[in-house]
Amino acid sequence: MLLEGARVRDQIEAELKPRTERLARERRAPGLAVILAGHNPASEIYVRNKVQACQRLGIYSEKLTPPHTVTTAELLEAVGRLNHRPEIDGILIQLPLPPQVDSKTVLLAVDPDKDVDGFHPLNMGRLFTGRPGTRPCTPLGILEILRRYQIPLLGRRAVVVGRSDIVGKPVAMLLLAEHATVTICHSRTADLPAVCRQADILVAAIGRPAMLTADFIQEGATVIDVGTNRLSTREEVAQVFRGSPEKLADFDRKGSLLIGDVHPLDVTQKAGAYTPVPGGVGPLTIAALMLNTVESAERRLGLCSG
């Protein structure tokens, strides 16, 4: 079964629309500010997609675009101004920031109540201690796709490959909260394929193209592929897709191909359900950001979603 992110995104947006309309009618529209520093082409695409989602839902958005020479102090000043603006419910710092900027210091400066990315240590602490709070967007999107496709979690064995603060650790905590038995793995895990084969639910978030082959996947497992890796040579495409003329022609037309951390051919043969790359987890990250922004506005304006 193909787990389509766009389908779940559309469901989430359909549920959010009446909530944003109510906010606009009774108080004001939710507000999201995005800081995009420098000229990273991938970041510019991500931010454009986020702004478009805001427009679809009636969320006020504004984009701050300091130059690539911006300093940590200048970004801290910008964040401070946004923290004090009552019409801004969410602040998003698009990563990566330019190399001269202390990213951790800037992220820490965001008001935790406006941290719609869920990266602030206070919100991470709330997650790890089981308290209500804003959840990181990609892990939240993963839980939404599992829930909406009715993938059982209670008592199931989940293996998360990757231990980042953005995906690996928080998604493990969310799965644990749903009463799955969770193992966190990484590149130094002994006999990684054997551990992964135990998984009823396998989450791949290690950042290596097609690393998880058939040897890592239990027959019938649910596979969530968080990876976004770009194949930039014809040789890579031929190797991964085993000489597929269609994929080689696709590469010749586009100049590159996007694949995940799980081998795209092996996963279709062994998994019972899986997210494609692209089109799986990606759309849900932005949908979760919209959900976090609307919930922040409701909380700050004293309106529940009921």
Do β-strands 157-161 and 90-93 pair in parallel, antiparallel, or remain unpaired? unpaired
The encoded tokens of residue 286 equal 């932005």
CA distance 212 to 131: 33
Closest CA to 97 of 54, 74, 68: 68
Concatenate the DSSP letters of all residues of 47-103 into one string: HHHHHHHHHHHT-EEEEE---TT--HHHHHHHHHHHHT-TT--EEEEPSSPPTTS-H
Asked if residue 113 lies in contact with residue 299, where contact means CB atoms within 8 angstroms, the answer is yes
Closest CA to 207 of 182, 179, 226: 226
Closest CA to 39 of 65, 18, 14: 65
What are the C-alpha distances in Å from 276 to residues 4, 175, 288? 7, 20, 18
Asked if residue 212 lies in contact with residue 186, where contact means CB atoms within 8 angstroms, the answer is no
What are the C-alpha distances in Å from 124 to residues 118, 214, 217, 224? 7, 33, 30, 22
39 beta partners: none
Closest CA to 200 of 152, 139, 138: 152
Query: Catalytic residue numbers?
Result: 50, 94, 117
Closest CA to 117 of 239, 290, 234: 290
